Each structure stands twice: as C-alpha cells, then as structure tokens.
Amino acid sequence: MASNGVRRRQQAATRIAFFVVGFGMAAWAPLVPFAQARSGIGAGALGALLLCLGIGSIVTMSLSGALAARFGCRRVIVGATVPLCVSLPLLAVLAHPFALAVALLVFGAALGSLDVTMNIQAVIVERASGRAMMSGFHGLFSVGGIAGAAFTALALVAGASPLVAAMAVVAVIVAATALATPHLIGYGSQGDAPAFVLPRGIVLFIGTLCFAAFMAEGAMLDWSAVFLTSKLGMATAYAGLGYATFAAAMTVGRLTGDRVVARFGGPALVVSGGLCAAVGFALATIASSWPLAFPGFALIGAGCANVVPVLYTHVGRQSVMPEHAAVSSITTLGYAGILAGPALIGFVAQAASLSGAFLLLMLLQLGVAAGGRLLRG
C-alpha cells in the first residue's frame, strides 16, 4: 500500500496532467485565424479541416485504454505528450490544407490519448484516496483551458509570432510534464483484460449520460454566440461572453464540486446538475433580451460542471468491465457527444428553430437527471 506522501504526490501529478491537457488544447484556439489566413481557405473548408482534430481524438480514445493497461499510465501520458509538443508548432507554421489536416490529426490523436489515460489515472488515484477528488481534477482541466487560451492570446498581442507563441506553450507543457512524470502511476489496470470491449451494462448507461452531458457542452461552445446574435440581437463582437459565462460557472462548479459530492453524494449531484442545466436551457430559450440569457448560460455551466466527473467516479466502482476499457468507452462516447451535439443543433435549427434545438437539449438534461436517480441503485 502506498504511503500518504506517495499518494499526495500522485494526486498532484494527476492535477498537473489535467492542467496540461486543458492548456495544450486551448492554446490552439487563438492560432486558428492565423492558420486560416496562411492557407487561404474559407469558412466551410476550415470547418472540414477542424473535424480532423476530432477524428484523431476519437481514434486514439478507443485504443488508449488498452495501451494504458499494457504499458501503464506514465508511459502513455509521456508518450502522447511528444506528438502534442511536435504538432502544435507545426500548426503555427504550416500553410497547405493537407499538411494542416495531418498535423491536426496528430494533435487530436495526442489529446485523445491523454484524455483517456489521465482519467484512468484519476480513477485509480481517487479510489486509493478514499475521498471525492474527480471534480477537482476536471476543474484543473478547465483552469488549464482558460490559462492556455489566455497565455497564447497574450503572447500574440505582445507581438510574438504564432510559432514563438506555440513554442512558449510547448515549453510550459514540457516543464509541467517533467514535474509530474515521476509520480504518475506505472500501471493502468487492475488486471489482464481484452484490449477492446464493447460498452455494456452500467458502463453503456454511464456512457450514454456522458454523451448527453457533453452534447450540452458542445452546443454551448459552437452555438451560444450564434444564439445571442441571431435570436437576441447581441453585437457579434461581444457574443463570446455567453460561452465565457458558461465556462466560468463550470470551472467554479468543478473546483468546489468535491466538497459537494462528499456531503451529498455523487448521484444527488448528477440529479441536481441535470435539473440545473435543464432550467438554464429553458431560461435562455424564453429570454427576451441577451442580458436575460446570461443567467441561463451560467446555470447550464454550473449544472454540467460535475456530472461527468461523478460519472467517471462511478466507472471506477463498477465491475462489469475492466476500468481501462470502461474509461476508454465512456470518454469516446462523451467526445462523440461534443462532435454530434453541434451538428444535431444545426439540423434541428434548420428544420424548426434554434430555440427548439435548445429545448431539445433541455429535455436531454432532464434525462441526465433521471439517470442520476438510477445511479443510486
């Protein structure tokens, strides 16, 4: 059994891993306009190009659980950090659309592998601690995202070239990973198991809830600004504040979530989170002006904040599937929700209205709340 000192160092290393993934992922966002300008492509082609990131992530998410089980979390996390650090500077200089597509596939593959493996590490570390820690781990991912986007944007505003800004991001990632590596765990599964297992039983149920929760996050990322401008008449220059409100509420919710879970239990938080997000979508839908929509966006962020962390904790407690395969499965399903959510919103908005699409998301979050009640069993 690991000593208290070893466990604390493993917990700190897990927090660093979550921060690094959020930091590296968000650093790409300020570089997107520069990549579009260099390549000379339009919005439609850019959208297709950005899909490569998601495709790369989905592919490695389905493989990384097996890799972690075979080689351990430490080796997979360090190994996936290498292509992350190589591809980000390439994304800052490449101009040909095909070259950018390949770099985005590699970048997405690295992020997907890191996402699965850090969650496997988090499940093992949280279980060893005997207390709720998952919300805090995911909170560090959110903090890393804010820091990564701000760090890169500030470097560009200060006059740095995209390449210099990307290399500065890589320097932070390398330093943080080096600090965490000695205390990342050297295994990734409690026992031998098949590399590929289709989700079943409680794992499939949890993965479905993850899919619905991540759909809300994906919709807020891609459609909140459009909703504010097209439905509520907000100036385009300020429409990004809607997502910022959502993200800030989610970050605060995750950083305080472990104490709430410890007091009320995870299933209660899934129920209340689903209800809170549903109320948020309802408020945003009926808002008559953009200031009235912002409380709704904040409620969506607060509601979604701890649903997924609690679901990861429950995956670590089930015995239907080996945890490395279960974590890989629900991460893949969740990320599919992020990719599918915006597309579904677009189809519904085209057929009916954007307000109707938000009401559909409200119903899905009510389904998450109902699922939380079933988790108690």
For 259-290, what is each residue's pLDDT tens digit?
A: 999 999 999 999 999 999 999 999 999 988 88
Total number of domains constituting the chain? 2
Nearest to 304 by CA among 207, 220, 196: 220
Residues 96 and 60 in one domain: yes
Contact call for residues 312 and 123 (beta carbons, < 8 A): yes
Is the pLDDT at 194 greater than 70, yes or no?
Answer: no
Residues 138 and 207 in one domain: no
Residues 330 and 362 in one domain: yes
Q: Among all chains, which residue has been given the structure tokens 């995202």? A: 145
Residues 329 and 255 in one domain: yes
Whole-angstrom distance, CA of residue 97 vs CA of residue 215: 28
pLDDT at res. 161: 93
How many CB atoms are located within 10 Å of the residue 350 CB? 10
Residues 72 and 115 in one domain: yes
For 19-52, what is each residue's pLDDT tens digit?
A: 999 999 888 888 888 888 898 888 677 777 878 8
Does residue 215 sit within a domain? yes
Is the pLDDT at 196 greater than 60, yes or no?
Answer: no
Residues 261 and 324 in one domain: yes
Residues 321 and 295 in one domain: yes
Does residue 190 sit within a domain? no
DSSP state of 276: H
Residues 140 and 109 in one domain: yes
Does residue 168 sit within a domain? yes
Tokens matching residue 284: 């945003």
| Range(s) of the domain holding residue 132 | 4-183
Residues 216 and 173 in one domain: no
The residue out of 183, 214, 236 marking a domain boundary is 183
Does residue 193 sit within a domain? no
pTM of the model: 0.86
Residues 11 and 47 in one domain: yes
**CATH classification at residue 277:** 1.20.1250.20
Does residue 159 sit within a domain? yes
Average the pLDDT over 191-218 and give the result.
Answer: 80
Residues 22 and 149 in one domain: yes
Contact call for residues 224 and 246 (beta carbons, < 8 A): yes
